[in-house]
Chains A and B, each alone.
Chain A
């Protein structure tokens, strides 16, 4: 289900939060409203962690992660790193990356299997991404923009990209990512997709300016309508149990 919310009267929720299948990071805000929305949706399924990165609140754009790991920029302080290590589940590897392009959230877009990165990313960083997040890395651009982390948002079920992406590019990216992609907008025609929304396999959060049309597009491409967190667990259970005694 897609939810509309605001962070301190600003609709760019993807900037102030990071949502994955295993955890959710939320910025420290003036009021608790932002946090409580996430809590009400996710509390019983995944941990919702309040944090800052490098003393800033724009955590969604500074870190990149999936259910396997979390990458933080070199500006993260030791205390923040320790706090995150303590709060997140043990199977999530938290790693600080020494990378010139420190806004990792803008440079890396990933789900649990594939990652798209900024074309100028260091070799070592690319290896670390492959290592920590356990994904296959592709350097790409989206509609001529090198900040792939900003202009697309994708989960394991589908993805939304910059509206000016051509059909050939869409096909190419779709092949790489192995998920259906659609070009669209969020927050009433804003092209910066990942800043306006944050998504995982069963839920999405968008800015409150998002129109009904955009919301329906998001729900259809990310297949959120029938998704329930328990559904995934049930599917896993089906594959795990082969016989009843």
Chain B
């Protein structure tokens, strides 16, 4: 109580200390001026009680800081060395270059207990090989006063070619790792599809050269790790078997550095979509006695097989396949066109792996026989949900085929079906649309073509056309691929005329706009998106 009274008493004079308590009357405090203890000019009191000029003359906080540093620069690729070995591409007067320069100063600043407040570039001529940065720092001096000073730091640019540029200069075709992708089949459908996948995921961004060979493609990289990364990517999207080797190019006995060339041989499995396969007996038994005649429905990093007569399915992954290593009985080259005369649905619709199937009995006749003779086949098919009498379908003609497959011989008493239908044919409708451009386009990789004349241009074109038709008909194939809007496409007036069921086409929502496929596009742009 008495203490409270004294507080009140003192407050009559407006004491500054007591007025810190809340609710009390506070007098406005004006800071008086004192004389600087060195030069005697009146100034506001501060922790050092010296005017700024005297303080600055006394203490130089930039003492001991680096003022001149070296930046190593590669003139070919405009990149700067980040010790010990990496090179970063930086533009002059950019934020990244400022960060890069300041990082070099940081350790020196910290050891001098100086804090960085602000930094900016001072303009220098681009060819002067100097980068100047004005840096403002703060440091605590004497008894708690913080002094701020700015000073210029000069970076001298030393020209030194980086390793990759020097290697390119020495021998532009020099590669360190090569990946040889091969598939021993007579068509290139898989490679068209792989090409689109590679483009979408940018897996070949680091390839220095891509060469098209017969039955495959060669990719060349400047770094072994790029090659390994590419092989792993392929291994994720296709069932492959690979081996790798290296060859000594040069060897430095003093520092024990060995330079190698690495090659990766990657073999894709010859099984493709829509192939007819006769499984070897051991494999069929291990897969649960699935009928030896199966169709391959999907190939990713595992092979999906479907028994068309019982609608049973199974998967084989790459290891399993390569252990058994069977070939297909008939491939899509040998597809024959049939006309469906009658369809009788046997079971209900089943969804396997995202696609619908329905078991049905169908009466079909080969298109070549139709009208000429009465050869009719009664077959079981899995396309009951698609086919109607009068439709056209493509399938394998086992009745007329002469297969000398070793696996087939292993089965004693196997009754082969006369035909196995694979897919519905839209050929008739396609006839009407022949020659009209599509609404969408695909990009392609920059490939060197082996010009020895072995490659048949017409065959390639027709295979490519077939691939595009496949893309239109199969939405799940399009899943992993980027399709681009074709600017030249004009929807024709005939599109309004519908006739029966529509030709399957790619809906516009799936198309990616914003791609300029004009002729003046660079090579780089082709490989990256």
- Partner-B contacts on A (CB < 8 A): 119, 139-141, 143-146, 163-170, 172, 176, 183-185, 188-191, 211-214, 216-217
Contact = CB atoms under 8 A, between A and B. Distances in A.
A213 B37 contact: yes
A207 to B, nearest CB: 12
B14 A163 contact: no
A163 B29 contact: no
B301 to A, nearest CB: 76
Interface stretch (B38-46, B278-286, B392-400): B38-46
Among B14, B18, B45, B50, the most chain A Cβ lie within 10 Å of the Cβ of: B45
B5 interface: no
A10 B16 CA distance: 33
A33 B288 CA distance: 112
A163 B16 contact: no
A183 B15 contact: no
A217 B28 contact: no
B35 A172 contact: no
Among B30, B35, B37, B142, the most chain A Cβ lie within 10 Å of the Cβ of: B37
Nearest to B41: A213
A107 to B, nearest CB: 15
Nearest to B29: A166
B37 A188 contact: yes
A166 B45 contact: no
B14 A164 contact: no
Contact of B14 (A172, A184, A214, A217): A172
Nearest to A169: B16
A191 B46 CA distance: 10
Interface in B44-90: 45, 48-50
B10 interface: yes
The 5 closest A-B pairs by CB, nearest first: A141-B17, A189-B49, A213-B40, A163-B45, A166-B29
Given A188-B37, A189-B49, A211-B38, A144 B32 contact: no
Nearest to A146: B17
Contact of A191 (B17, B38, B40, B49): B49
A214 B37 contact: yes
Given A139-B10, A141-B16, A185-B49, A167 B36 contact: no
B27 interface: yes
Given A163-B34, A185-B34, A141 B15 contact: yes
A217 B29 contact: no
Contacts of B27: 168
Contacts of A146: 17
Contact of A168 (B14, B18, B45, B50): B14
Contacts of A141: 15-18
B54 to A, nearest CB: 9
A72 B344 CA distance: 123
B13 interface: yes
A143 B38 CA distance: 23
A217 B35 contact: yes
Given A139-B6, A139-B10, A189-B50, A168 B29 contact: yes
A191 B143 CA distance: 10
Contacts of A183: 32, 34, 45
A143 B34 CA distance: 14
A172 B34 contact: no
A70 to B, nearest CB: 27
Contacts of A164: 31, 45
A166 B16 contact: yes
Interface of B: 6, 10, 13-18, 20, 27-32, 34-40, 45, 48-50, 142
Given A139-B6, A190-B49, 13 more contacts: A119-B17, A141-B17, A145-B17, A146-B17, A163-B49, A165-B32, A167-B30, A168-B16, A168-B29, A169-B16, A184-B34, A184-B35, A213-B38
Contacts of B34: 163, 183-185
Nearest to B55: A189
Contacts of A185: 34, 37, 49
Nearest to B142: A189
Contacts of B31: 164, 166-167
Given A141-B15, A185-B49, A166 B32 contact: yes
Contacts of A172: 13-15
A164 B144 CA distance: 14
Contacts of B32: 165-167, 170, 183
Nearest to A145: B17
Contacts of A217: 35
14 contacts: A140-B10, A140-B15, A141-B16, A144-B17, A166-B32, A167-B30, A168-B27, A168-B29, A172-B14, A188-B37, A189-B48, A213-B38, A214-B37, A217-B35
Contacts of A119: 17
Contact of A211 (B15, B17, B30, B37): B37
Among A189, A213, A217, the most chain B Cβ lie within 10 Å of the Cβ of: A189
A164 B46 CA distance: 8
A147 to B, nearest CB: 12
Nearest to A216: B40
Nearest to A189: B49
A76 to B, nearest CB: 29
A211 B40 CA distance: 9
A165 B30 CA distance: 9
Nearest to B20: A144
Contacts of B37: 185, 188-189, 211, 213-214
A163 B35 CA distance: 9
A170 B35 CA distance: 16
A214 to B, nearest CB: 5
Contacts of B39: 213
Nearest to B43: A163
Nearest to A141: B17
A189 to B, nearest CB: 4
A144 B16 contact: yes
Nearest to B36: A213
A217 B40 CA distance: 9
Among A144, A146, A169, A212, the most chain B Cβ lie within 10 Å of the Cβ of: A169
Among A143, A176, A213, the most chain B Cβ lie within 10 Å of the Cβ of: A213
Nearest to A143: B16
Contacts of A140: 10, 15
